[in-house]
Structure formats: structure tokens, C-alpha cells
Amino acid sequence: MRKRILFVSLALVLVMTLLMPGAALAKSDKFKPAEPVITSFTGAGIIYVTNMTDPTIKKDIWRYQGEIAEGFLQDSDWDLLAGTAFWSEHDSIVKVRDDGSASGIMKGSFTLTRPDGSGVLEGTFEGRISGNLYTGDISDTGTWNSTGGTGVFGDVKAWGKWSADLSFGPIPGTDIYTLIGPVTWEGNYSSINKPTIRHKPGKFENPWKKPVKPWRVIKPGRP
């Protein structure tokens, strides 16, 4: 009888030992925070220079400060970016040759604002500049990282690469000529909450609420 009681007791202890780790694991999983989901995306739009200050020139090195570019990401498979208004400000250092051909670097900050005002994504970017400052044919490429966000971008982290090909032309819907061209904006984003907001394409609206200082050719010391 004692042996039977001892055997039953040992069996119960063994069962409890096997069940306890599973229960503890289930309990820990219940309170485990949700893991962010990482998703890749692509996007494209148009940007244009709305302010370019006169450079500080020392020999063949030109330094620009506070250059502003604006535009729109018209298409993106990341729903939250489709239709966002792009704004950026950056400084750059460029080496310019006698024929105007140039190469350099840039660094600045950007915002992407949803058209319905539901959120803003903020970040920094850097890139390389190549092209010709006299003709206005410029190609830029670089990387970007988000630094924060509001509204629907509040829990978002994003990063990636960008490129732009600019030339001298009019801003759509205006008679203002400046550096303008297509931009690509792609990369990855992570978010615990993934709200789905579908962009409804519409006609291009004139965004100008302030004067634009258009880009112009500068050839110091040359006829």
C-alpha cells in the first residue's frame, strides 16, 4: 500500500513538472510585446528646388547652405506614403570645374506629410551630387533614415535609399522655372500597428503659398 501511494505521488510530481514549463511559457507569451513587422517598399514622385542661396566660393569649391527642395511622392506601395508632400533642407559642398561639371556631397533633413494631415514622417538624408551646374543637369543619389513621426507615423521606423534627376524646367501648373525632376524613394519600414490608408489619386494642385527663389546659373569670374 505504501509503495502504491509512493508511486502515485511520484507520478503526480512528474506530471506537474512537465506541465509547469508549458504554463509558464504560455503566460510569458501572453504578456510578450508585439514584434514590429519589417516591410520593403518603393515610391516615386517629383521634386523641385524652391530656394537656393548663393554659394560661398573658394577656388573650385562651392558651399551651399539652406537649399530647399519640395515636391510630392505621387505613387508608393507603402500606402501611408502615397500622395505625401515632400519638404527638405540641406547643405552641400561641391567641386566645380571650368566647364561647370561638378561633384560633391550633401546632408540634410526631410519631412513627408500626409495630404489629409493624419501624420508626418521626419528624418535625415545624405547623398552624392554629380552633373553640371551651368546647364542645370544634376543627378543625386543617397540614403535616408527616419528620426520620428506623428499621427499614423508615430510608431514607424523607416530607412532606405533615394535618387533624383534634375534639369531646368517649369513647376507643373506654374510659370516658375527651377531645377525639377523625378525622384525615387524606397527602402524598408517597421511598425507594430499598420493602418491601411488608400490614396485616391487626383489632379495636381498648386502648392505654392510663398514666393520661390528660382535656381540660376552662377559663373563667378567668367565672361
Query: What DSSP state is assigned to residue 104?
Result: E
Q: Are residues 59 and 101 in the same domain?
A: yes
The alpha carbon dihedral of 119, 171, 64, 132 has a sign of positive
Q: Are residues 126 and 180 in the same domain?
A: yes
Work out the burial of residue 82: count CB atoms within 10 Å of its CB; fewer than 13 is exposed, 13-18 middle, 19 or more buried: buried
pLDDT at 100: 95
**Cα–Cα dist 220/192, whole Å:** 53
pLDDT at 176: 92
**Cα–Cα dist 101/132, whole Å:** 4
Q: Are residues 182 and 73 in the same domain?
A: yes
Domain that holds residue 91: 37-191
* 164 assigned to some structural domain: yes
CATH number of the domain enclosing 42 = 2.40.350.10
The letter for the amino acid at 37 is V
pLDDT at 205: 43
* 221 assigned to some structural domain: no
Q: Which three cell numbers stand for residue 30?
A: 501572453
Q: Which three cell numbers stand for residue 210?
A: 510663398
pLDDT at 1: 52
pLDDT at 155: 92
**Cα–Cα dist 51/53, whole Å:** 6
pLDDT at 20: 54
Please, what are the averages of pLDDT over each run of 10 residues along the chain (223 residues)?
48 51 51 76 97 94 97 95 97 97 98 97 98 95 97 96 97 93 97 53 43 49 44
Q: What is the pTM of this model?
A: 0.75
**Cα–Cα dist 220/62, whole Å:** 11
Contact in structure between 125 and 146 (CB atoms under 8 Å): no
Q: Are residues 179 and 82 in the same domain?
A: yes
Domain count for the chain, please give it: 2
Q: Are residues 173 and 87 in the same domain?
A: yes
Q: Are residues 83 and 2 in the same domain?
A: no
